[in-house]
Structure 1
């Protein structure tokens, strides 16, 4: 996402700073700036503009919906050579002071002029976390979907190969967002796993792709859960994709379980600040 800048020395913006950002999305109306709403991008813009003392253009790797978290979101900001000279330590300390406690910049890179966190990304990875058991998760509750009934992971895993490759994912896109827009995407990886958070066993679904549609990951998860509950067979996933119709898919899973885990860039493009 970008916003027009009235910085009168725009010709002096000869480099780019790239920030790796983590946030708890529980209190935000998504990443993208919206009038009258508290958003992650709005807080980042305010903090960075306070330090640089000028308007900025800010581009993100991927917009997350309201309530969705991030472990490694990336944003890019064009800067001057003088601004590029600010040290990593100064950036991290300043952002810690200027940002709310549920947003953190945890790494700062320099990149070439014109680098874009969005357009130079090769792939993006999301993980959805589910606690499928009788007992309510406690310490991890803000970052998982508590699903009271056990899920058949083998059945859900059997449905995952249908997601791979470049194809039309319109069935998993929010209807209003699909109107007049391309809905083909390429999924590289889609797999289930397990992790332990604060002593609690969590079921994970990780998906990597070149890009994702609005609510695509959460709707895929909701569809997989229908299979995991034995309401549908694994082969149903193929039928849903081929339908190219949002009503063919399962419900959209809650936002709380989803986290933006990272972005794949050319390693030579990003250099950690000194």
Structure 2
């Protein structure tokens, strides 16, 4: 491949009609649409890597990816790339930013943390029509203050196997940096969940467990005890994907920190 430039891409999408982020034969995914558009413009691309592979139905306003493209084509397209991608991509996915970065940047491994939002409506009428694709309707009233207090007991570095679908060879040790519940201006209960990384279904399981506390079916001690069971908790409900949105991925502003962060992320985690 000719001389290349690494681009950092900001990507937003409505996940409702996608079979997740990752490439899957015969299925429409976010990655397949973005790669198709990039290849039409650059012809040759390499090392397309995303910060977090979201599941089917999950949305994003702050997804990050990196890709290596021919430098000559980048110089030609630099000022009009977003406009050209707008004309190629379908309306439910957009590349919202593109910038050249040092080749040491890695969208996945250089990330310091990822922040997700989950929206839940417990109004008696359900979800307002314009928010039905990004908000879960809950059939029982929720005590959001109780949910918030219970969620604080999960903060820190733990083995979150009770909240995760295990994958062979993958660790379930994570550092949960933030897990807050509050109501927004329209009364919707909103969870903000931030961690250095997440294992499969972790956020949706954390939300499902907190909802059981919020509607009175479980207590705070039950939620905290899930960290101690050492296996997947059968009584934790994994809520639907459509209420979940990836809103931000954070990186150091100093490129000199990226390699150190990559090494730290790739380490074998232990408690």
TM-score (norm 1): 0.88
Match of 2:177 in 1: 188
User: How far apart, CA to CA, are the structure 1 residues paired with 2:73 and 2:246?
Assistant: 28
User: How far apart, CA to CA, are the structure 2 residues paired with 1:19 and 1:73?
Assistant: 8
Match of 1:202 in 2: 188
User: How far apart, CA to CA, are the structure 2 residues paired with 1:48 and 1:241?
Assistant: 43
1:103-114 map, 5 Å:
103-114=93-104
Residue 86 of structure 1, CA deviation: 4.0
User: How far apart, CA to CA, are the structure 1 residues paired with 2:142 and 2:231?
Assistant: 25
User: How far apart, CA to CA, are the structure 1 residues paired with 2:82 and 2:187?
Assistant: 33
Match of 1:33 in 2: 23
User: How far apart, CA to CA, are the structure 1 residues paired with 2:245 and 2:134?
Assistant: 8
Conserved 8 A contact 1:240-1:249: no
User: How far apart, CA to CA, are the structure 2 residues paired with 1:264 and 1:84?
Assistant: 25
Match of 2:140 in 1: 149
Residue 201 of structure 1, CA deviation: 3.0
Residue 165 of structure 1, CA deviation: 0.9
Conserved 8 A contact 2:45-2:70: no
Match of 1:5 in 2: none
Conserved 8 A contact 2:19-2:27: yes
User: How far apart, CA to CA, are the structure 2 residues paired with 1:50 and 1:201?
Assistant: 44
- Equivalent residue of 2:204, what SS? helix
Q: Please, which moves more after superposition, 204-213 or 84-93?
A: 84-93
Conserved 8 A contact 2:42-2:70: no
Match of 1:174 in 2: 165
Match of 1:241 in 2: 227
1:1-274 map, 5 Å:
8-9=1-2, 12-13=3-4, 15-136=5-126, 137-175=128-166, 177=167, 179-196=168-185, 200-269=186-255
- Equivalent residue of 1:127, what SS? strand
Structure 2: gaps (5+ residues)? 256-271
Listed one character per residue, the Cα deviations across residues 123-142 of structure 1 (whole Å, up to 9, x for unaligned) are 00000001111113211110
- Equivalent residue of 1:205, what SS? strand
Residue 83 of structure 1, CA deviation: 3.4
Per the alignment, do residues 138 and 45 of structure 1 end up closer, same or farther by CA in structure 2, a change over 3 Å counting?
A: same
Residue 173 of structure 1, CA deviation: 0.9
Q: Please, which moves more after superposition, 130-139 or 83-92?
A: 83-92
User: Which of structure 1's runs of 4+ aligned residues deviate more than 6 A?
Assistant: none
- Equivalent residue of 1:85, what SS? helix
Listed one character per residue, the Cα deviations across residues 26-82 of structure 1 (whole Å, up to 9, x for unaligned) are 001100111111100010000001100124321000010000000110010013332
Listed one character per residue, the Cα deviations across residues 221-273 of structure 1 (whole Å, up to 9, x for unaligned) are 0011111111111111221111122234511011010000111111244xxxx
